[in-house]
Amino acid sequence: MIRGISRQIIEVKETGNMYYESAYLVVKPEYASAERELLEREARKILRSMDAPSGMKRARGISFWVTRVAPPAAVAAAAAILYFATI
């Protein structure tokens, strides 16, 4: 059990981001007295600007397929052609 911690937390249920359902943001103590509307607006702005986690983003990109998948496939295809050409 933790005692003596007083923090203001903002919960954003509709993040506007396709990857995240909800988020909890801890407000710095010096801004705890700021208007709630301002804090919520800033929280939503931050969440909208967030992108996919790096692993998901990389796997989708065309450059991932070109640099990671195509070269080994080309080498395998060339090896198969050479093997069957010598038979």
Mean pLDDT of the chain: 77
The region of weakest confidence among 4-8, 36-40, 44-48, 78-82 is 4-8
Q: How many helices (H) and strands (E) does the chain have?
A: 4, 2
Nearest to residue 20, comparing CAs of 45, 53, 42?
A: 53
> How confident is residue 1, by pLDDT bands cut at 50, 70 and 90?
very low
pTM: 0.49
User: What is the average pLDDT across 36-52?
Assistant: 81
Is 52 exposed, middle or buried, given 0-12, 13-18 or 19+ CB atoms closer than 10 A? middle
